């Protein structure tokens, strides 16, 4: 639980910093980078859920 809270707080710091930097380049970039991040997480979850646990039955 503590590790989860640590990463959540890190994201609350890094997220706005990143969005502010890319917004200076183009107004749409924070939305695009957020979408790409969510897509990456979605694909990672799909890959993780597809794995079947190995059974060592004789």
Report DSSP state, residue 54. P
Instruction: For residue 33, give every residue at least 6 positions away whose Cβ sits within 8 Å of its Cβ, in sequence order, or none.
Output: 18, 19, 22
Amino acid 55: pLDDT: 67
Q: What is the pLDDT along the chain (58 residues), one digit of tens a residue?
A: 789 999 899 999 999 999 999 999 999 999 999 999 999 999 999 998 887 767 665 6
Using alpha carbons, list the distances in angstroms from residue 32 to 26, 27, 29, 36, 37: 10, 10, 5, 6, 9
């Amino acid at each position: 639980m503590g590790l989860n809270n640590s990463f959540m707080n890190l994201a609350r710091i890094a997220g706005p910093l990143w969005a502010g930097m890319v917004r200076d380049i183009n107004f749409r970039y924070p939305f695009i980078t957020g979408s790409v991040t969510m897509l990456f997480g979605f694909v990672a979850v799909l890959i993780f859920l597809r794995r079947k646990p190995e059974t060592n039955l004789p």
